[in-house]
Structure 1
Amino acid sequence: MRVALANSTATFTAYAELEPVGMVRLIGDGGMSFYIKDFAVVPSMQSQGVGAALLAALKRHVRSLIKPGWAVSLELISSQDAVGFYERHGFEPRPNDWDGPGMFTMIRA
């Protein structure tokens, strides 16, 4: 976990009365693609704007890293329950009419 956090592009944490209530971790290449790897809000704080605030901070950070006029992809794999949240914030589910599905594989030693 320490290595993953240390090599992240950015991490953001939301607090309520000094207690962490949400977090998001961003990884990326700094030029073409960024990926939301971890995003969590404690259940009792969901639907209270915590996730929206974390996502807004993350998007501002990505914009600060790129040159004016550039566009980069911001990608993630959503849980079924969070699809609506991401759609409300401009994400498109995949597959869609113009692109293929998100895919991954696991590599084990």
Structure 2
Amino acid sequence: MSYELREELPTPERFRELRAAAGMAERSREGVERGLPNSVYGVTIVEQSSGETVGMARIVGDGGSVYHICDMAVHPDHQRQGLGSRMMDAIMRYVEENAPESAYVNLMADVDGFYEQWGFEETRPASKGMFYRA
């Protein structure tokens, strides 16, 4: 199969489908429709023969001092082909070209050993991640 990386966001429907297929927590349709347009940057991976979006990743934040990489997902039928790495390369290229010096770039790592290749480090013991779900 042949894939194309695009600098665009998925549709709200495909966003929710990819999260579900990847085993990620569900997001409400209303939340996705509100949130996606507020992304700082996003990429998708499209399988060229079908035109189907099979991967996504995005950055949210204030576009200046804080950048949060999130919603990284590749459909299970298309995993293990380097698509996540292609998306992270694009995400990090954006950060390197656009984030001011000393901007804080973070993410929630759910794959051990993956994000370290782009220079990410665990915050423990200096800090701990926390969350609150509405």
**Is TM (by shorter chain) over 0.5?**
yes
* Shorter-chain TM band: 0.7 to 0.9
Instruction: Give the aligned partner of residue 132 of structure 2.
Output: 105
Matched residue SS, 2:131: coil
Please give the TM-score of this superposition, normalised by the length of structure 1.
0.80
Residues 77/47 of structure 1: CA separation in 2 closer, same or farther (3 Å cut):
same
Cα distance in 1 for residues equivalent to 2:60 and 2:122: 20
Instruction: Give the aligned partner of residue 16 of structure 1.
Output: 47
Note the alpha carbon deviations across 1:53-93, whole angstroms, 9 max, x for none. Answer: 101111111222234xx1322211122xx122112332112
Instruction: Give identity over the alignment, percent.
Output: 36
Matched residue SS, 1:83: coil
The answer for unaligned runs of 5 or more in structure 1 is none
The amino acid that maps onto 2:37 is: A
CA contact (8 A) 1:83 1:93 kept: no
RMSD: 1.7
Matched residue SS, 1:104: coil
Equivalent pairs counted in the alignment come to 101
The answer for unaligned runs of 5 or more in structure 2 is 1-31
Please give the TM-score of this superposition, normalised by the length of structure 2.
0.66
Instruction: Give the aligned partner of residue 34 of structure 2.
Output: 3
